[in-house]
Chains A and B, each alone.
Chain A
Amino acid sequence: MSTAAAREFLRSAAKKSADLNHRQIIRRSIDHYNAAVVRGRATFADWEAARERCHEIKQEALNNLERYLLEFEQGVKERGGQVFWAENSAEASQYITNLAVSRGVRKVVKSKSMVAEEMHLSAALEKAGIEDIDTDLGEFIVQLRKEPPYHIVTPAMHLTRKDIAILFKEKLGDVDTDEPQELVAAARRALRKAFFSAEMGISGANFLVADAGMIAITTNEGNDRLGTSLPRIHVAIAGIEKIVPRLQDLALFWPVLASAGTGQTITCYNTLIGGPRGLGEVDGPEEFHVVLLDNGRSELLADREQREVLSCIRCGACLNACPVYRTVGGHTYGTTYSGPIGSVLTPHLRGLNEFQHLSYASSLCGACTDACPVKIDLHHHLLENRREAVRHADRPLSERVGFKIWSWTMESPKRFAMAGWLARAALRVVNAAHLDGSILDPARSWAKNHAPLPAPKKSFRELWGKANGTN
């Protein structure tokens, strides 16, 4: 069945892929990224060994997920932090908004968190009458535009400095230039006020470190550092799959994340937080809460074929590598996680029926799999999702009947030859009658965007037979 999400995907994909301006902006950004990644990888002696080791560590983490989560929880509790386990987005949002309301919080500063997007946390906070300000520059920009992030790592990838200049002039008022330096300074001024007046900081977590009982956050801007130092409450949200067993593992994951995410040797700030302000410490929040979100992840863990998808570190490399993503753009997916990883993950998080079309938003070229720093076999998972969709989700009657006829035809050389002859004859008639592209044209989906196919005189089998003298 063509769902509303699928129809919207096709509509937006057609529009975006014809938008040359959009394609140029994305191409420039990703060219920039590609050049940086070459430099980033050059800092490794053996990038393949790094990928294999990351894969191995993440498998180990998932294989022992219960033990490591409990170890992490124990560590946080020992330092005076709280850990809340949420089965779904609603429960997690409820916990955070209740906490905020009960502590008299009126303003929240948020640093980049894809899980917060997944939970639609902003909407929940707004409903509770709490102001929430995104502090990562890219997120701040898309929040001012009331848009979701375009990309996991680069939320405002689709905007030019001119777009941002117009936005800032209108919304911030104290800046009237398209110089990136000045625009960043304007955002800094606006956000400094927010950091020093907010009562709660909300962050994501790139990793949950089991043996240290700490969360690890990676940013270049340092917004997470202000947001987790100044407000009196810090809430970190993370999916339960974010575990790494040992602090030592970050000696590998930090450079790998940076290299795959932005092409840097290492990201500017890699922060570790284990609790609220400790005894004798100068500053820090009075309260530290970690919200561990399941939201379909434990069900994905039960899927033996696909559970490795949970080792994703959200670097965004597969988005940048994907020819479909680059053409249709991040917003077309209509999902929190876009690109290949989003296409694999979303049917598990939000339902196979509604999001099965994403499994087809791929050419199966495998560029995503090659790019993945933790070696997730992404394009095979897309194929597996297609298979699951055929098995379990609603497929149109025409498709089911069509494939029955197709397989019946393919089982016999005679029937195959006959079908070929029929198709060529039909094409000739359609082309002669100038009906190409009409409902009668067997190649009409091709003809939509291409010149009509000339009908070949002879079939491949005839040509082959002639060339080999067996006919």
Chain B
Amino acid sequence: MAQTDNASRQRILARIRTALRERMVQPAPVPEKLIFPRVVDALDRFQKECAINITECVVTSDLHARAAGIKGILASLPAGDIFVQDSPELRRTATEFADGREIRWSSEGPPLESSQATITECEALVAQTGSVLVSAGCGGRGASIVAPVHIVVATIDQLVPDLDAALARVQSRGTVSANSYLCLITGSSRTADIEKILVMGAHGPRRLIIFLSQS
């Protein structure tokens, strides 16, 4: 089954072609106006946006301080395993942050539903919106959605001023073609479907924590 060259394809395309014999008037290109205010101080803006969208952003001086920070967070969570993206850097510091917990590495398969937290890297941080851009390469699709806590480790050179720059970066570096999946994450999972009252942790993480190393 599931042949993609179905008969309807030709008919739909033919109808589109006929329909567009007379094109719409293409509006004159909008003169380059500034649509979003320019981001001046990326780090400052990023931290402010994180505060607004309820992301915990921790700026650390080096990898050891970061590992200590992660350890502190893990210590506050209920017992259980954690899921960690299998990257050389996270492997290297694992003993420092793991807090004695069992680690399920992404190379061993996707996160289990019992995971208390996931730790991953990211592709970019966006100052304009306080967002994290992850790909399938950052521990897989489930890594940033299954567990109640998602911890992201990033470095300052991953911080870009705006969405435009973030999308340009992942496209020009081949991240888009190399991954079947990308996600721009801004804050943690939420819903306002009941009387427009904001509730955190609808389906995904209740907490999103970003450790941003300045070195």
Q: Which residues of A contact B (CB under 8 A)?
A: 28-29, 32-33, 43-46, 49-50, 52-53, 55-56, 59-60, 62-63, 65-66, 69-70, 73, 77, 79, 82-87, 91, 95, 98-99, 102, 135-138, 141, 154-156, 159-161, 164, 180-181, 183-185, 187-188, 191-192, 195-196, 212, 214, 220-223, 225-226, 228-230, 240, 247-248, 250-252, 254-255, 262, 265-278, 281-284, 288-289, 292, 294, 298-299, 301-302, 304, 307-308
Complex Cα spacing A307 to B15, Å: 14
Q: In residues 162-195 of chain B, which contact A (Cβ within 8 Å)?
A: 162-164, 166-168, 171, 176, 178-195
A87-B11, A254-B184, A304-B22 are known contacts. Are A229 and B1 too (CB-CB below 8 A)? no
- B167 / chain A contacts, CB cutoff of 8 Å: 247-248, 250-251
Q: In residues 1-17 of chain B, which contact A (Cβ within 8 Å)?
A: 1-2, 4, 6, 8-9, 11-13, 15-17
Q: In residues 128-148 of chain B, which contact A (Cβ within 8 Å)?
A: 129, 131, 136-137, 139-146
Question: Can you give 29 contacting A-B residue pairs, CB < 8 Å?
Answer: A45-B36, A49-B35, A52-B27, A56-B26, A69-B13, A77-B4, A84-B2, A87-B8, A87-B11, A91-B8, A137-B193, A185-B201, A192-B203, A212-B176, A220-B192, A221-B202, A222-B145, A225-B204, A226-B145, A250-B163, A251-B164, A252-B35, A268-B186, A268-B190, A272-B182, A274-B176, A281-B137, A281-B179, A282-B142
Size of interface on B: residues with Cβ below 8 Å to A = 82
Distance in Å from the Cβ of B14 to the closest Cβ of chain A? 9
Q: Is the CB of A45 within 8 A of B37?
A: yes
- B146 / chain A contacts, CB cutoff of 8 Å: 226, 229
Complex Cα spacing A227 to B2, Å: 21
- B129 / chain A contacts, CB cutoff of 8 Å: 255, 265-266
Distance in Å from the Cβ of B16 to the closest Cβ of chain A? 5
Q: Which of B15, B24, B131, B176 contacts A59 (CB 8 A)?
A: B24
- A271 / chain B contacts, CB cutoff of 8 Å: 181-184
- A55 / chain B contacts, CB cutoff of 8 Å: 27
Known: A222-B204, A282-B109. 13 other contacts (CB 8 A): A29-B196, A49-B30, A62-B20, A85-B9, A138-B191, A160-B195, A212-B171, A220-B190, A222-B202, A240-B12, A266-B163, A277-B136, A298-B19
Distance in Å from the Cβ of B75 to the closest Cβ of chain A? 24
Say yes or no for B199: interface residue by CB 8 A criterion: yes
Nearest to A225 among chain B residues (CB) is B145
Q: Which of B25, B53, B145, B203 contacts A191 (CB 8 A)?
A: B203
8 closest cross-chain pairs (CB), A and B: A282-B140, A222-B204, A302-B19, A221-B202, A229-B141, A283-B110, A251-B163, A138-B193
Complex Cα spacing A267 to B37, Å: 19
Say yes or no for B78: interface residue by CB 8 A criterion: no
Q: Is the CB of A304 within 8 A of B139?
A: no
- A184 / chain B contacts, CB cutoff of 8 Å: 191, 194, 199, 201-202
Distance in Å from the Cβ of A272 to the closest Cβ of chain B? 4
Distance in Å from the Cβ of A403 to the closest Cβ of chain B? 31
Q: Is the CB of A270 within 8 A of B35?
A: no
Nearest to A178 among chain B residues (CB) is B194
Distance in Å from the Cβ of A242 to the closest Cβ of chain B? 14
Say yes or no for B18: interface residue by CB 8 A criterion: yes
- B188 / chain A contacts, CB cutoff of 8 Å: 268
**Which of A155, A192, A221, A252 neighbours the largest number of chain B CB atoms within 10 Å of its CB?**
A221
**Which of B107, B171, B179 neighbours the largest number of chain A CB atoms within 10 Å of its CB?**
B179
Q: Is the CB of B145 within 8 A of A59?
A: no
Complex Cα spacing A65 to B35, Å: 26
Q: Is the CB of A188 within 8 A of B15?
A: no
Give B98-111 as 1s and 0s: 1 = Cβ < 8 Å from A's Cβ atoms. Answer: 00000000110110
Q: Is the CB of B180 within 8 A of A85?
A: no
**Which of A69, A91, A184, A188 neighbours the largest number of chain B CB atoms within 10 Å of its CB?**
A184
Give B68-102 as 1s and 0s: 1 = Cβ < 8 Å from A's Cβ atoms. Answer: 00000000000000000000000000000000000
- B145 / chain A contacts, CB cutoff of 8 Å: 222, 225-226, 229
Nearest to A284 among chain B residues (CB) is B141
- A292 / chain B contacts, CB cutoff of 8 Å: 12
Complex Cα spacing A46 to B37, Å: 8
A59-B27, A281-B180, A289-B2 are known contacts. Are A161 and B189 too (CB-CB below 8 A)? no
Q: Which of B4, B136, B171, B184 contacts A84 (CB 8 A)?
A: B4
Complex Cα spacing A252 to B180, Å: 22
Q: Which of B8, B171, B180, B186 contacts A266 (CB 8 A)?
A: B186
Say yes or no for B40: interface residue by CB 8 A criterion: no
Q: Is the CB of B180 within 8 A of A275?
A: yes
- A282 / chain B contacts, CB cutoff of 8 Å: 106-107, 109-110, 136, 139-143
- B179 / chain A contacts, CB cutoff of 8 Å: 274, 278, 281
Complex Cα spacing A141 to B35, Å: 37
Q: Which of B2, B142, B191 contacts A229 (CB 8 A)?
A: B142
- B193 / chain A contacts, CB cutoff of 8 Å: 136-138, 141, 154-156
A66-B13, A214-B176, A268-B186 are known contacts. Are A98 and B26 too (CB-CB below 8 A)? no
**Which of B144, B145, B191 neighbours the largest number of chain A CB atoms within 10 Å of its CB?**
B191
Complex Cα spacing A434 to B136, Å: 77
Q: Is the CB of A66 within 8 A of B203?
A: no
Q: Is the CB of A223 within 8 A of B203?
A: yes
Distance in Å from the Cβ of B172 to the closest Cβ of chain A? 11
- A308 / chain B contacts, CB cutoff of 8 Å: 24
Q: Which of A28, A43, A85, A156 contacts B6 (CB 8 A)?
A: A85
